[in-house]
C-alpha cells in the first residue's frame, strides 16, 4: 500500500504550488486532481489560487517595516521556497516511515 | 414681428407676387426683379400662432390677394434713397447698384430689409416622394414628413399646399408640394434657425440626397413665401378648393438648443466669446484659471500642450460640437491663446478622439490587404486567395455570413485540398459555440462541441485531447495540455477575436495558451465585426513576428454593412433622457408595434428592474404579451436561446408577442430571423444606464433582430453614484480625467518606457496592458463611440431624440444619480431604525456640565445622540459625513487605534490580524504627527488626539514644504503594494500633490482643511521679494529686528521669529499670515464647532477597545 498525502499536507502544499503541480511533484502520493479539489473544499479552500495569493498577501503585510516592497517580496519568495522544500522533505520522511511500517 | 405681408405697391405689379404656369409648366422669374412693395403689415410675435397664421393664409387665398409672406420688414423708401448694394455681373465682377430705381421700384436685396429675429419659419417640401399620390391629403403628407423627421412630432404647426399642387395630375408622380409653418418658443436669430433647419436629418430616399427634400431657402431675409394663388395661362383663376385645404396641429413650440447646433461662420462664435454673458459659468471659470496661469507665466513653453490637453478633454467628454464653446472662449482671450492655432487644435483633438474611440483601423500591420464590399461573405472567391501559412484577419459586419459563408469554406478548402489534418474553433460563449460547431461542420469534417461528453473537467480533457476538429471556449484551453504540452492544431479559428483576446487576460495563463496555439498553427483565422489594429491586428503581428515560418498577415476588410444598406438603411435615434426609452415603448405599444428592448442590466439585483418594466407595461396595456429574460431566467426557456425562430414564431402565432426584453446575455451569438415575412420587430429600443456594456456591444445588441431597421438607444454618461454636494458633471469629468491620466501614466511609466530602457517584457504582460488600455478607452465615452460606430456602418443617426413622456408614474423605473439618489439612500437609512442608530452611534454631542457620575468640576462632556433627538436634515449631514469618511476606505476606528498605540501594540494588532499593515500605517501616522508637531507648540502630539480633545484649540496652522513631505512620500512609494492593502490604501492612493494625503486624512477625521498657500495670480501681483520686504519692515518697526541688518539676514530672522510664534501657538497678525503663505504649503486645519456640532465617536471606541484588549491580555 502506497503512502497518500493527508488533508493537512494538501492544504499546506496548495499554498505553495497549484493542484496540477501537486500531482506532478508527488505523482505516487497524490490522489487525482478531482479528489484534491474535493478534499481541499472540505476544509474551506474552494479556490486554491485565491488561498495562495491570500497567503502571500499576509506574508507581505507581516514583512518588517524597514524593508521596502521589493526587498520584502524577495524575502518572501525565499521563505516560501524554504518552507516548500521543508514540507517536501517532511512528506518524504513520513512516506518513508509509512513504508517501513507496512514493509 | 417675424411675419410680414408683402404686397406690390402698384396694381401693375400684382402678378409679381404670383407663380405663373403656361401649358402646365412653371415659368421662372428672372432675378433680380423689381417690385415696389407697399409698406407691409404683419402679425406681431406675441400674436403669432397657428390660429392667426391660418387666418391670414385663408384670407389671402380666399380673396385671391396678390400677397406673399416675408420674414423681414422692408425699409422705408426714404431710408433707401441713395443706398447701393453690390451686384455680381455675368462676367463675375461686382458693380455698385442703387437699391431704388428712378421709378420708385426697388430691388429685393439684403440692404433693403431690416433684420429681425424669427418667431416662426416655413419649411418647404417640394421633392418627389414615393409615398405621395394624387389623392394624398395634407394630413397624409404631413404624416409622411413626421415619420421621417421626428423633430416635427407633436409640435405646433400649420401645413398647407404650395401653389404647385394645382399642376398635379393622377398620371404624374406627384411631389410633396407642401409647406409647413412651425413656431418657436421665443424669437431666434436667422443664423440659429438656419442651423436648426440644417440639423433636421432626412433619410436618403430612392438614392437622392437628403438635403434636397427640405428647401431651407425660406429662412433667408430676401425670400418670401409665394402663397398667392398662381396664374394659369396668363389669367388668375378662382381660388382652387385644394389650395384652401389647410391642416393645423396643436402642440408644443420648438425650443432650439443653440449649443447643440453647428452654426455657420466663426465670426458668430467670436462675437459670443467676446460677450461673456453667453459663455457658461464652468467655461468662464476655466478661462479665468488659464488667464491666471498665463499672467503668472506658467504657460510659457507649455502653452501648446496645456491648451491641447484641455481641448482634448472637452472633446472627449462633451463631443466636438460642444467643445466649440471652450475653443471660441479660449481664442477670445489673447493672453491665453498667444500665437497658437486654437481652432486647428480642435480639429486635431477631434480626429484623435475619433481614432481612439473606434480603435485603429484594421490592416495597418497586414502584409496583404484586401478590401471588398459585399453583404454576403459567401460571394468572396476564396480560391483566388492563398490562406496557407497566413494569419487571416477578417473584419465584416453582423449578419454578413462570416461563419457559414466564409469560415466553413476556408476550413473545407484547407483540409481537403491543402492536407490540413486538425482544426480548432475558439469563441467566447458556450451559446455561440454549440450552433456554430454545426454551422462549420460538413460531411467529412465534423466539429465536436467540447462539452459533448459532459461538463466536468475529466470528460472535457478526454474529449478535447482526442478530437481533430474541436469547438471550444477560450476558458477551457488548458484542458488541451497533456504532459505539460499543448496539443497543436493545423488551423486555428478565433471567432469574435477582439472579445476573446480581451477576455483572455482575466485568467492566468490563458493568453499564453492562445498565443502558443496560434504560433504552432499553419493558418490562423481571426474574425470580428469590430476588429481593430489595437487588439486583433496587434495580436496577429505578435504571432507573425514570433512564428518561425514567418506567417504573413492577410487582412480581409468588408466595407459594407447591413446598417448602411443602399435602399433600406438603418435609422438610429439617440434618446436624450432615461424617461424617453419608456416613452417610446409606450407609444409603440399603443400603436400596436412589436418591440425588442435590450437593456444593460440584469434582473437579479434587489430592484428587479426587468420584472419592474414588465409589470409597468403590463399594467398600462394588460392585453399585450410581454416577456423579459436575463441570463438566469433564460435557463427556463432553452428553446428561445437555442432556436429563437421557433420560439418567437410560436409565440406570435399563439397569443402574440408585443415586447421582448433582453439583458446583455444575447448581445452576441444569438439572433432572430424568421422565414415568415410578418414576424418582424418594428423597432428596437436600448437602455444602458451603466458602463458595463461597451459601445461595440450595444451596436451588436441592436442588430439581434436581423430585419429591424429602426433603433432607439439611450446611453447614460452618468455612471457612478455621487453623493453630497458634488456636481455630477464634475464627477463624470474627473472620472474621464482619471482615465485620461492613466493613459498618460502608461506612456510615462508603462511599457513604452520599459521598452525604451531595454527591459525585456513578456508577451502576456504586453497583451494585458494593451487590453487594459483598450477597454479603458472604450469606456471613456460610450455615447460618442456608439455614434461613431453607427455612422461608420452607414446608419442614419439622429442625436438627442426626445419624447413628451414625463417622469410621472415611472420614477421607480428610473435609475437615479447624484444628490437625489443620495437623499433617497439617506432616507432609507433614516427609516431603518437599526441603521439610524448605527449612524448616530458614530457621533456624539459635546455638552458643558458636571459629570453626573464622578461629580467632577464642570467641563465638556460627551453625550450620545438619541435616535429621536435629531431631525432628518441633521441626520442627512451626519450620514454624508460618515460616508465621506468611509469613501476614503479607511476604517476610522482602526486608524485611531493605530495612532494612539505604541510600537508593541501595533505589532500585536498586526499579528492578531486586526489591522492590516498596522506597523506601516502607524509609521506613516507618526511621520504626519511629526510634521504637525513642527508647526505647533508641542500641545498637539497626535493629530488624532487633538481631534478628540475638547480642550485643544479648534484650529491650527501647519507650515510645511515639499522637503518635509519627502520621507512620507518615499515611505508610501517604496511600500506601495503593502499600503494598498492597508487601512491607508485609498488615503495614500494619490500622492502627486503633497497636500492630498493630509486632505484625505482630514476628511476621514471629519475635519476641514484649507490650503492658504499663495496662488499663481497672487504671486504675479506681489512677488516673494515684496512680501519679504513687508515683513522685515514690519518687524523692524516693531523693534523685533535690528534696523541695520541687511535684507537676506533680516528675512531669516523674521522666519525664525515666525516659526517660534507658530510653535508657541501665538495668534498671527495678517501680515505674518500673508508672509507664511509664500513659504510653502500653509494649511489651516479646523474641526467642527464642538458647541453646536456633532462629532465622530471613534476615539472613544478605540480607547474602549484598547482597554478591552488589554484586560483580555491580562
Residue in B457, B923, B976 closest to A65 by CB: B923
pLDDT tier for residue B818 given thresholds of 50, 70 and 90: low
pLDDT for res B889: 57
- Is the CB of residue B920 less than 8 Å away from at least one CB of chain A? yes
Nearest to A69 among B911, B916, B977 (CB): B977
User: In three state form, how does the secondary structure of B1047-1059 look?
Assistant: HHHHHHHHHHHHH
Nearest to A69 among B911, B913, B976 (CB): B976
Residues from chain A contacting residue B978 (CB–CB below 8 Å)? 60-61, 63, 69, 72
The distance of A48 to chain B (nearest Cα, Å) reads 13
**For residue B67, what pLDDT is reported?**
82
Q: Which residue has the cell 502607524?
A: B922
pLDDT at B612 over 80: yes
Chain A CA closest to residue B482: A20
Q: What is the pLDDT of residue B718?
A: 54
Q: Determine the Cα angle at B636 with ends B635 and B638, to 5°.
A: 65
Rounded mean pLDDT, B415-432 = 86
Q: Which of A65-74, B148-157, B254-263, B939-948 has the lowest mean pLDDT?
A: B254-263
CB contact set of B323 (below 8 Å; sequence gap of 6+): B311, B314, B315, B346, B349, B350
Q: Is the pLDDT of residue A103 over 90?
A: no
Judged by DSSP in three states, B107 sits in strand
User: Mean pLDDT across the stretch B187-203?
Assistant: 76
For the cut 90, the answer to whether the pLDDT of residue A86 exceeds it is: yes
Of A11-15, B328-332, B454-458, B591-595, the least confident: B454-458
Residue A87 to residue A76: CA distance in whole angstroms: 16
Q: What are the residues facing B1084 on neighbouring strands?
A: B957, B1010
Distance from CA of A84 to the nearest CA of B (A): 22
- Alpha-carbon dihedral B891, B897, B901, B904, rounded to 10 degrees: -60
pLDDT reported for residue B1114: 32
pLDDT at B712 over 60: yes
Q: Using CA atoms, how far apart are residues B277 and B267, in angstroms rounded to an integer? A: 17
Percent residues over pLDDT 90 in chain A: 42
Give the containing element (helix H, strand E) for B997. helix B996-1004
Cα distance from N-terminal residue to C-terminal residue, chain B? 92
Number of H helices, E strands in chain A: 5, 0
Burial code (b: 16+ CB inside 10 Å, e: under 16) for B841-880 equals ebbbbbeeeeeeeeeeeeeebeeebeeeebeeeebbbbbb
Task: Give the pLDDT confidence score for residue B686 in this predicted structure.
Answer: 93
CB B561 within 8 Å of CB B397: yes
In this structure, are residues B712 and B801 in contact, taking their beta carbons and an 8 Å threshold? yes
Element at B836 (helix H, strand E): helix B833-841
Interface contact B976, partner A, CB < 8 A: yes
> In terms of CA atoms, which chain A residue is nearest residue B907?
A62
pLDDT band at B737 (very low <50, low <70, confident <90, very high): very low
**Number of Cα atoms under 13 Å in the Cβ half of residue A19:** 18
User: Looking at residues B805-810, what average pLDDT do you find?
Assistant: 76
Mean pLDDT comparison of A64-68, B279-283, B1025-1029, highest-scoring range: B1025-1029
How far, in Å, CA of B518 to CA of B514, rounded?
6
Tell me: pLDDT of B268 over 70.
no
Record: contact A60-B977, CB cut-off 8 A: yes
Mean pLDDT confidence for B271-289: 66
Contact B981/A61, CB-based, under 8 Å?
A: yes
In this complex, the residue of B457, B916, B978 whose CB is nearest that of residue A69 is: B978
CB contacts, 8 Å: A33 with chain B: 457
Name the β-bridge partners of B423.
B469, B491
Of B458, B916, B975, the CB nearest to A34: B458
Chain B CA closest to residue A20: B484
Q: What pLDDT digit, counting tens, does each position of B596-608 carry?
A: 999 988 876 656 7
CA distance B926 to chain A (A): 13
B838 or B392, greater pLDDT: B392
Alpha helices in B643-762 (DSSP H): 644-653, 695-701, 728-749, 751-756
Convert the pLDDT of each residue in B877-889 to its tens digit: 778 777 766 665 5
Q: What confidence score (pLDDT) does residue B756 get?
A: 61
pLDDT at B722: 32
**Which residues 31-70 of A are in CB contact (within 8 Å) with B?**
33-34, 49, 57-58, 60-63, 65, 68-69
pLDDT digits (tens, 9 = 90+) for B379-400: 888 888 888 889 999 988 877 8
pLDDT band at B1061 (very low <50, low <70, confident <90, very high): confident
- CB of B969 within 8 Å of a chain A CB? The answer is no
Q: Which of B456, B923, B978 sits opposite A60 (nearest CB)?
A: B978
Query: For residue B456, what pLDDT is reported?
Result: 76
Euclidean distance between CA atoms B384 and B380, whole angstroms: 9
Cβ pairs bridging A and B (under 8 Å): 34
Is the pLDDT at B1108 greater than 60, yes or no?
A: no
B916/A61 touch (CB, cutoff 8 Å), yes or no: yes
pLDDT at residue number B258? 63
Residue B536 · residue B362 · CB < 8 Å = yes
Q: Can you give the pLDDT at residue B275?
A: 46
Rounded mean pLDDT of B857-867? 63
Question: What is the C-alpha to C-alpha distance for residues B526 and B395, in angstroms, rounded to an integer?
Answer: 9
Strand pairing partners for B830?
Answer: none
Q: How confident is the model at residue B749 (pLDDT cuts 50, 70, 90)?
A: very low
Mean pLDDT of the B407-427 span: 89
Residue A24: list chain B partners with CB under 8 A: 484
User: What pLDDT, on the 0 to 100 scale, is given for residue B764?
Assistant: 67
Please judge whether A69 and B975 are an interchain contact, meaning their C-beta atoms are less than 8 angstroms apart. Answer: yes
Q: HSE-up of B945 (CA within 13 Å, CB side)?
A: 16
Confidence class of residue A22 from pLDDT cuts 50, 70 and 90? very high
Q: How far apart are CA B660 and CA B648, in angstroms?
A: 10
Contact B974 A69 (CB under 8 A): yes
Rounded mean pLDDT of chain B? Answer: 77
Q: Do B910 and A69 touch (CB under 8 A)?
A: no
The number of beta carbons lying within 10 Å of the beta carbon of residue B29 is: 13
- pLDDT for res B259: 58
B916 touches chain A (CB under 8 A): yes
Of B457, B484, B978, which is closest to A61 when you measure between CB atoms? Answer: B978
Q: Determine contact: A103 vs chain B, CB below 8 A.
A: no
Tell me what pLDDT residue A88 has.
93
Select the residue from B975, B980, B982 to test the A interface by mutation, using most A Cβ atoms within 10 A. B975
CA distance A64 to chain B (A): 8
Q: Calculate the dihedral angle through the C-alpha atoms of B222, B228, B232, B233, rounding to the nearest 10 degrees.
A: -60
Confidence of residue B425 (pLDDT cuts 50, 70, 90): very high
Task: Note whether B974 contacts A: Cβ–Cβ < 8 A.
Answer: yes
Contact B477, B510 (CB under 8 A): yes
Please give the share of chain B, as a percent, with pLDDT higher than 90.
Answer: 6
Above 80 in pLDDT, residue B842? no
Flag the least confident range among B65-79, B504-518, B739-753, B768-782.
B739-753
In this prediction, residue B1023 has a pLDDT band, given cuts at 50, 70 and 90, of confident
Q: How far apart are CA B235 and CA B999, in angstroms?
A: 86
pLDDT tens-digit series, residues B462-496: 888 888 899 998 888 888 888 778 888 999 999 88
Put simply, the answer to whether B910 touches A61 (Cβ < 8 Å) is yes
- What does the pLDDT average to over B979-1002? 74
- Strand B84-88 vs strand B94-98: parallel, antiparallel, or unpaired? antiparallel
Mark B684-698 as b/e (b = at least 16 C-beta within 10 Å).
Answer: bbbbbbebebbbbbb
Compute how many other C-beta atoms are within 10 angstroms of the C-beta atom of residue B1081: 19
In degrees, to the nearest 5, what angle opens at C-alpha B933 toward C-alphas B928 and B938? Answer: 150
Model confidence at B1113, pLDDT cuts 50, 70, 90, reads very low
Percentage of chain B beyond pLDDT 70 is: 79
Nearest CA in chain A to B976: A69
Question: How far is residue B372 from each of residues B375, B376, B379, B784, B844, measured CA to CA in Å?
Answer: 10, 11, 10, 27, 73
Contacts of B982 in chain A (CB under 8 A): 61
With CB atoms and an 8 Å threshold, state whether B978 touches A62. no
Note whether A69 contacts B917, CB cutoff 8 Å.
no
Neighbour tally for B1089: CB within 10 Å = 10
The secondary structure of B843-878 as a DSSP string is EEEEEEE--TTT--SSEEEEEEPPTTTS-HHHHHHH
Task: Tell me the mean pLDDT in the region B1032-1038.
Answer: 87
A21/B contact by beta carbon, under 8 A: no
Distance from CA of B916 to the nearest CA of A (A): 7
- Rounded to a whole number of angstroms, the distance between the first and last alpha carbons of chain A is 9
pLDDT at position B205: 52
Q: What share of chain A is helix, strand, coil (3-state, %, to 5)?
A: 70, 0, 30
**Is B480 an interface residue toward A (CB < 8 Å)?**
no
Amino acid at each position: 500500500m502506497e503512502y497518500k498525502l493527508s488533508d493537512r499536507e494538501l492544504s499546506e502544499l496548495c499554498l505553495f504550488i497549484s493542484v496540477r503541480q501537486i500531482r506532478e511533484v508527488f505523482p505516487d502520493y497524490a490522489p487525482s486532481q478531482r479528489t484534491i479539489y474535493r478534499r481541499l473544499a472540505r476544509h474551506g479552500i474552494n479556490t486554491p489560487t485565491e488561498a495562495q495569493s491570500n497567503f502571500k498577501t499576509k506574508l507581505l503585510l507581516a514583512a518588517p517595516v524597514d524593508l521596502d516592497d521589493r526587498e520584502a517580496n524577495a524575502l518572501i519568495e525565499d521563505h516560501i521556497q524554504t518552507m516548500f522544500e521543508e514540507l517536501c522533505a517532511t512528506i518524504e520522511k513520513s512516506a518513508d516511515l509509512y513504508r517501513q511500517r507496512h514493509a | 414681428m417675424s411675419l410680414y405681408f408683402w404686397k406690390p405697391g402698384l396694381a401693375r405689379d400684382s402678378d409679381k407676387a404670383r407663380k405663373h404656369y403656361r401649358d402646365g409648366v412653371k415659368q421662372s422669374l428672372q432675378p433680380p426683379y423689381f417690385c415696389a412693395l407697399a409698406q407691409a403689415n404683419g402679425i406681431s410675435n406675441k400674436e403669432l400662432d397657428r390660429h392667426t397664421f391660418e387666418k391670414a393664409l385663408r384670407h389671402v387665398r380666399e380673396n385671391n390677394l396678390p400677397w406673399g409672406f416675408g420674414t423681414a420688414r422692408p425699409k422705408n423708401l426714404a431710408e433707401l434713397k441713395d443706398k447701393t448694394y453690390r451686384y455680381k455681373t455675368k462676367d463675375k465682377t461686382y458693380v455698385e447698384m442703387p437699391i431704388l430705381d428712378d421709378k420708385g421700384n426697388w430691388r429685393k436685396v439684403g440692404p433693403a430689409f431690416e433684420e429681425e429675429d424669427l418667431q416662426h419659419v416655413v419649411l418647404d417640401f417640394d421633392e418627389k416622394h414615393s409615398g405621395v399620390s394624387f389623392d394624398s391629403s395634407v394630413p397624409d403628407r404631413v404624416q409622411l414628413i413626421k415619420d421621417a423627421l421626428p423633430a416635427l412630432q407633436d409640435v405646433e404647426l400649420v401645413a398647407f399646399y404650395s401653389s404647385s399642387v394645382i399642376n398635379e395630375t393622377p398620371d404624374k408622380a406627384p411631389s410633396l408640394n407642401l409647406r409647413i409653418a412651425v413656431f418657436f418658443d421665443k424669437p431666434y436669430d436667422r443664423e440659429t434657425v438656419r442651423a436648426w433647419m440644417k440639423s433636421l436629418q432626412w433619410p436618403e430616399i430612392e438614392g437622392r440626397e437628403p438635403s434636397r427634400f427640405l428647401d431651407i431657402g425660406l429662412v433667408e431675409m430676401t425670400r418670401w413665401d409665394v402663397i398667392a394663388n398662381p396664374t394659369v395661362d396668363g389669367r388668375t383663376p378662382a381660388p382652387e378648393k385644394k389650395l384652401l385645404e389647410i391642416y393645423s396641429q396643436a402642440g408644443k413650440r420648438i425650443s432650439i438648443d443653440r449649443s447643440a447646433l453647428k452654426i455657420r461662420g466663426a465670426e458668430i462664435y467670436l462675437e459670443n466669446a467676446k460677450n461673456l454673458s453667453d459663455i457658461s459659468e464652468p467655461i468662464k471659470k476655466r478661462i479665468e484659471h488659464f488667464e491666471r496661469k498665463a499672467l503668472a507665466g506658467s504657460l510659457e513653453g507649455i502653452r501648446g500642450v496645456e491648451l491641447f490637453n484641455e481641448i482634448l478633454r472637452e472633446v472627449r467628454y462633451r463631443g466636438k460640437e460642444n467643445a466649440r464653446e471652450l475653443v471660441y472662449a479660449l481664442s477670445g482671450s489673447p493672453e491665453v491663446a498667444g500665437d497658437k492655432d486654437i481652432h486647428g487644435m480642435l480639429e486635431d483633438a477631434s480626429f484623435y478622439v475619433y481614432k481612439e474611440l473606434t480603435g485603429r483601423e484594421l490592416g495597418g500591420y497586414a502584409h496583404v490587404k484586401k478590401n471588398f464590399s459585399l453583404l454576403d461573405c459567401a460571394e468572396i472567391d476564396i480560391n483566388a486567395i492563398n490562406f496557407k501559412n497566413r494569419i487571416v484577419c477578417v473584419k465584416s459586419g453582423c449578419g454578413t455570413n462570416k461563419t457559414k459563408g466564409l469560415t466553413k469554406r476556408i476550413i473545407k478548402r484547407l483540409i481537403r485540398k491543402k492536407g490540413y489534418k486538425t482544426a480548432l474553433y475558439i469563441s467566447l460563449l458556450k451559446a455561440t459555440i454549440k450552433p456554430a460547431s454545426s454551422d462549420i461542420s460538413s460531411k467529412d469534417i465534423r466539429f465536436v462541441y467540447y462539452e459533448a461528453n459532459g461538463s466536468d473537467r475529466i470528460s472535457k480533457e478526454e474529449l478535447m485531447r482526442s478530437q481533430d476538429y474541436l469547438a471550444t471556449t477560450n476558458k477551457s484551453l488548458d484542458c488541451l495540455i497533456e504532459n505539460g504540452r499543448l496539443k497543436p492544431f493545423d488551423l486555428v479559428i478565433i471567432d469574435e477575436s477582439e472579445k476573446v483576446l480581451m477576455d483572455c487576460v482575466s485568467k492566468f495563463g490563458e493568453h499564453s495558451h492562445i498565443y502558443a496555439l496560434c504560433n504552432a498553427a499553419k493558418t490562423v483565422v481571426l474574425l470580428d465585426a469590430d476588429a481593430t489594429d489595437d487588439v486583433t491586428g496587434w495580436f496577429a503581428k505578435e504571432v507573425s513576428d514570433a512564428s518561425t515560418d514567418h506567417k504573413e498577415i492577410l487582412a480581409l476588410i468588408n466595407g459594407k454593412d447591413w446598417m448602411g444598406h443602399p435602399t433600406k438603411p438603418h435609422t438610429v435615434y439617440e434618446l436624450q433622457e432615461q424617461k424617453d426609452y419608456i416613452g417610446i415603448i409606450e407609444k409603440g405599444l399603443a400603436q400596436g408595434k412589436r418591440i425588442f428592448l435590450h437593456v444593460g442590466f440584469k434582473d437579479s439585483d434587489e430592484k428587479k428592474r426587468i420584472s419592474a418594466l414588465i409589470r409597468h407595461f403590463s399594467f398600462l396595456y394588460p392585453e399585450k404579451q410581454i416577456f423579459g429574460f436575463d441570463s438566469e431566467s433564460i435557463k427556463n426557456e432553452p428553446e428561445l436561446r437555442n432556436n429563437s425562430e421557433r420560439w418567437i414564431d410560436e409565440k406570435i402565432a399563439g397569443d402574440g408577442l408585443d415586447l421582448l426584453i433582453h439583458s446583455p446575455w444575447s448581445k452576441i451569438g444569438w439572433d432572430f430571423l424568421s422565414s415568415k415575412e410578418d414576424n418582424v420587430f418594428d423597432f428596437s429600443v436600448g437602455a444602458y444606464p451603466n458602463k458595463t456594456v461597451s459601445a461595440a456591444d450595444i451596436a451588436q445588441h441592436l442588430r439581434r433582430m436581423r430585419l429591424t431597421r429602426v433603433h432607439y438607444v439611450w446611453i447614460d454618461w452618468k455612471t457612478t453614484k455621487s453623493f453630497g454636494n458634488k456636481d455630477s458633471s464634475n464627477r463624470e469629468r474627473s472620472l474621464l480625467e482619471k482615465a485620461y491620466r492613466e493613459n498618460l501614466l502608461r506612456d510615462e511609466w508603462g511599457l513604452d518606457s520599459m521598452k525604451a530602457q531595454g527591459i525585456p517584457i513578456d508577451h502576456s504582460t504586453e497583451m494585458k496592458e494593451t487590453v487594459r488600455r483598450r477597454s479603458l478607452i472604450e469606456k471613456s465615452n460610450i455615447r460618442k463611440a456608439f455614434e461613431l460606430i453607427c455612422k461608420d456602418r452607414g446608419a442614419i443617426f439622429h442625436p438627442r431624440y426626445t419624447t413628451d413622456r414625463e417622469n410621472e408614474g415611472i420614477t421607480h423605473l428610473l435609475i437615479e444619480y447624484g444628490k437625489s439618489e443620495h437623499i433617497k439612500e439617506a432616507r432609507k437609512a433614516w427609516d431603518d431604525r437599526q441603521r439610524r442608530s448605527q449612524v448616530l452611534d458614530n457621533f456624539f454631542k459635546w455638552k458643558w456640565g458636571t459629570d453626573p457620575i464622578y461629580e467632577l468640576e464642570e467641563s465638556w462632556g460627551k453625550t450620545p445622540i438619541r435616535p429621536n433627538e435629531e431631525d432628518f436634515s441633521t441626520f442627512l449631514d451626519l450620514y454624508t459625513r460618515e460616508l465621506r469618511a468611509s469613501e476614503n476606505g479607511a476604517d476610522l476606528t482602526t486608524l485611531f487605534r493605530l495612532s494612539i498605540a505604541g510600537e508593541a501594540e501595533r505589532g500585536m494588532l498586526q499579528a492578531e490580524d486586526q489591522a492590516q499593515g498596522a506597523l506601516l500605517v502607524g509609521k506613516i501616522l507618526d511621520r504626519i504627527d511629526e510634521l504637525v508637531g513642527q508647526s505647533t507648540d508641542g500641545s498637539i502630539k497626535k493629530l488624532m488626539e487633538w481631534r478628540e480633545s475638547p480642550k485643544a484649540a479648534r484650529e491650527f496652522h501647519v507650515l510645511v514644504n515639499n522637503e518635509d513631505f519627502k520621507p512620507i512620500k518615499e515611505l508610501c512609494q517604496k511600500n506601495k503594494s503593502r499600503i494598498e492593502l492597508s487601512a491607508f490604501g485609498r488615503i495614500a492612493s494619490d500622492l502627486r500633490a503633497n497636500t492630498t494625503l493630509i486632505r484625505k486624512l482630514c476628511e476621514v477625521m471629519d475635519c476641514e482643511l484649507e490650503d492658504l498657500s499663495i496662488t499663481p495670480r497672487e504671486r504675479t501681483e506681489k512677488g516673494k521679494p515684496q512680501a519679504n520686504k513687508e515683513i522685515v519692515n514690519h518687524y523692524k518697526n516693531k523693534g523685533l529686528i535690528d534696523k541695520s541688518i541687511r535684507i537676506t539676514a533680516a528675512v531669516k530672522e523674521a522666519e525664525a521669529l515666525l516659526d517660534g510664534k507658530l510653535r508657541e501657538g501665538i495668534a498671527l497678525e495678517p501680515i505674518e499670515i500673508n508672509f507664511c503663505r509664500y513659504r510653502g504649503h500653509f494649511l489651516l486645519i479646523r474641526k467642527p464647532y464642538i458647541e453646536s456640532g456633532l462629532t465622530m465617536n471613534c476615539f472613544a471606541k478605540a480607547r474602549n477597545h484598547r482597554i478591552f484588549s488589554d484586560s483580555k491580555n491580562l
